[in-house]
């Protein structure tokens, strides 16, 4: 069975990778492409982006047959607008956007009662395997270890820390029976005093064309454990998102994540 895809942000770095990855997968077919109003890509065929099909880039989600799945790695405001439209058209939505406000997340939850949504801070299968490793490490190292999360991304990334880093912190906190918001130190400057017990610290680096590096450090007396994931290409994100799109097509409404897609 072929899954029909619509790619949002088609002219961007992630959009082009999604198009290229979809073109190499015989079980999916790109039937639509979107970009922001005013984009120079509007009206251009995605064939020029490596999609392998002659679909023109549009600035509005409309006229798509039910059953297609929108894959969206854009900006929070755009993603919510797309989800509003998906709920009217009956389209499933795969969202890789990060940086949502609490109000936007609540709206996403509401709309996921109408159409199925897969939302994840990172669609890499490897990163999702790291989440599971962190659960185990957090339980084993719950006492006597300070936890720091360091992430680095390219100079164009607009939210900090990354959604993946935040999710890593949430996974650790939840595995230890706590809440990240009660433990997070998002930045440090000046005379900070001693490190609080049970804190989860974050450090954010930006520069160059780094796709995404994440390291979680458990620092104890006489030893340090580091769990690291490094992305050399966006292809892992694209492959995971397309896997999620194939999984969510035809599902009942609900807000799902990559744990659901990967089977628990």
Give residue for tokens 């897969």: 118
Per-residue DSSP letter, 143: S
Secondary structure class of 62 (helix, strand, coil): coil
CB 245 within 8 A of CB 94: yes
User: Is residue 153 annotated as part of the catalytic site, yes or no?
Assistant: yes
Question: How many angstroms separate the CA atoms of 5 and 173, rounded?
Answer: 36
**β-strands 212-220, 184-185 pairing:** unpaired
Catalytic one of 93, 153, 214, 246: 153
Instruction: Return the C-alpha torsion angle 20, 25, 29, 32, nearest 10.
Output: -20
Question: Which residue, 172, 220, 193, is CA-closest to 183?
Answer: 172
Catalytic one of 93, 154, 156, 157: 157
CB < 8 Å & 24+ apart, contacts of 224-231: 225/137, 225/141, 225/145, 227/130, 227/133, 227/134, 227/137, 229/124, 229/126, 229/127, 229/130, 231/124
User: Is residue 230 annotated as part of the catalytic site, yes or no?
Assistant: no
Residues with Cβ within 8 Å of residue 91, at least 6 apart in sequence: 6, 61, 64, 66, 68, 69, 70, 85, 115
End-to-end alpha carbon distance in the chain: 24
- Here the tokens at position 262 are 């990967």
Which positions are annotated as active-site residues?
A: 153, 157
């Amino acid at each position: 069975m072929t899954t029909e895809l619509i790619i949002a942000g088609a002219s961007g770095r992630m959009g082009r990778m999604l198009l290229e990855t979809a073109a190499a997968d015989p079980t999916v077919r790109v039937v639509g492409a979107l970009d922001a109003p005013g984009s120079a890509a509007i009206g251009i065929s995605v064939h020029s982006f490596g999609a392998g099909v002659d679909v023109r880039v549009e600035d509005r989600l409309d006229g798509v047959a039910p059953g297609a799945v929108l894959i969206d790695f854009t900006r929070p405001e755009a993603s919510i607008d797309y989800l509003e439209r998906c709920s009217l058209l009956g389209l499933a939505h795969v969202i890789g956007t990060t940086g949502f406000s609490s109000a936007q997340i609540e709206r996403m939850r509401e709309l996921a009662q109408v159409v199925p949504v897969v939302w994840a801070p990172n669609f890499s299968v490897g990163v999702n395997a790291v989440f599971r490793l962190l659960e185990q490490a957090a339980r084993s190292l719950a006492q006597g270890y300070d936890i720091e999360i360091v992430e680095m991304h390219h100079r164009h990334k607009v939210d900090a820390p990354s959604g993946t880093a935040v999710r890593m912190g949430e996974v650790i906190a939840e595995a230890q029976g706590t809440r990240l918001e009660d433990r997070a130190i998002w930045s440090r400057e000046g005379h900070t005093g001693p490190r609080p017990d049970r804190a989860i610290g974050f450090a954010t680096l930006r520069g160059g064309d780094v796709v995404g590096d994440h390291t979680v450090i458990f620092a104890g007396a006489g030893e340090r454990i580091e769990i690291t994931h490094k992305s050399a290409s966006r292809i892992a994100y694209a492959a995971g998102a397309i896997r999620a799109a194939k999984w969510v097509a035809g599902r009942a409404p609900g807000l799902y994540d990559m744990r659901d897609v990967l089977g628990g």
